[in-house]
């Protein structure tokens, strides 16, 4: 029997999201394990997920207050699964964010991240990551690279909500451009069906339910 692993990333709760969406818990019902690939933001988020299943989590670049490792490796049905957030050097991150914002979401940042992670963790059967807020499922040299997308997503609605929360001046300036985003992802979560022979990934849209 395969194990069902719920894969969550970039909840940013309570930083940007007041509470986790109810649909998230519906999707995760019945999973054997939950992994969180970082940018959790608060222990209350982990506590809520632990009421569904055991949680293995790593620290993202928005998780300075959480005592979590940068990466961890777990074994499920004999498969070695590495969990990592995926943020890289500051100069690379900031230039990617700038280009993404100025393009109003049309520029796709973080090129090469999956290949970088594959090189960092050569012994893994699967590498789960977050950070990009964009679903990704790719097999590189026999290793599954999987990103479930983000529970929190920047779009004109979430930007307007953030502007009511008294952001700092630098973030306020960024939000003035980001509120005109034209291309953006839907909130999503992932499921891994992990068996002795293979790992099957899927991504579920939290808004459409598919």
Torsional class of 45: left (φ above 0), alpha (ψ -120 to 50), beta (otherwise)? alpha
Q: Which helix (H) or strand (E) holds 7?
A: strand 3-8
**Residue 78's pLDDT is what?**
96
Comparing C-alpha atoms, which of 99, 83, 102 is closest to residue 91? 99
Comparing C-alpha atoms, which of 14, 71, 53 is closest to residue 192? 53
CATH 3.60.21.10 is held by the domain 3-205: yes
**Residue 210's pLDDT is what?**
67
Residue the block writes with tokens 């059967």: 125
Model pTM score: 0.95
Backbone angles phi, psi at 128, to 5 degrees: -100, 130
Domain spans of the chain? 3-205
- For 86-100, how does the pLDDT look when each residue is reduced to its tens digit (9 = 90+)? 999 989 999 999 999
Q: Each residue's pLDDT tens digit in the chain (210 positions)?
A: 799 999 999 999 999 999 999 999 999 999 999 999 999 999 999 999 999 999 999 999 999 999 999 999 999 999 999 999 999 998 999 999 999 999 999 999 998 999 999 999 999 999 999 999 999 999 999 999 999 999 999 999 999 999 999 999 999 999 999 999 999 999 999 999 999 999 999 999 999 766
**Residue 208's pLDDT is what?**
78
DSSP-assigned letters across all residues of 20-82:
--HHHHHHHTT-SEEEE-S----HHHHHHHHTTS-EEE---TT-TTS---SEEEEEETTEEEE
CA–CA separation, 202 and 189 (whole Å): 9
| Under 8 Å between Cβ of 40 and 49 | no
């Amino acid at each position: 029997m395969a194990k069902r692993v719920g894969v969550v990333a970039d909840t940013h709760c309570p930083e940007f999201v007041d509470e986790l969406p109810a649909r998230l818990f519906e999707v995760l019902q019945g999973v054997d394990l939950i992994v969180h690939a970082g940018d959790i933001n608060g222990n209350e988020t982990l506590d809520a997920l632990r009421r569904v299943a055991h949680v293995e989590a790593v620290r993202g670049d928005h998780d300075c207050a959480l005592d979590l490792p940068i990466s961890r490796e777990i074994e499920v049905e004999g498969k070695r699964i590495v969990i990592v957030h995926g943020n890289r050097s500051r100069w690379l991150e900031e230039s990617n964010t700038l280009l993404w914002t100025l393009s109003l979401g049309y520029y796709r940042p973080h090129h090469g991240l999956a290949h970088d992670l594959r090189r960092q963790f050569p012994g893994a059967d699967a590498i789960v990551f977050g950070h990009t807020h964009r679903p990704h499922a790719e097999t590189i040299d026999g290793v599954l690279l999987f990103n479930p997308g983000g529970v929190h997503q920047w779009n004109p609605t979430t930007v307007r909500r953030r502007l009511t929360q008294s952001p700092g001046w630098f973030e306020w300036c960024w939000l003035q451009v980001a509120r005109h985003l034209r291309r953006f992802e839907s909130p999503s979560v992932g499921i891994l069906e992990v068996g002795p022979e293979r790992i099957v990934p899927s991504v579920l849209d939290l808004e459409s339910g598919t």
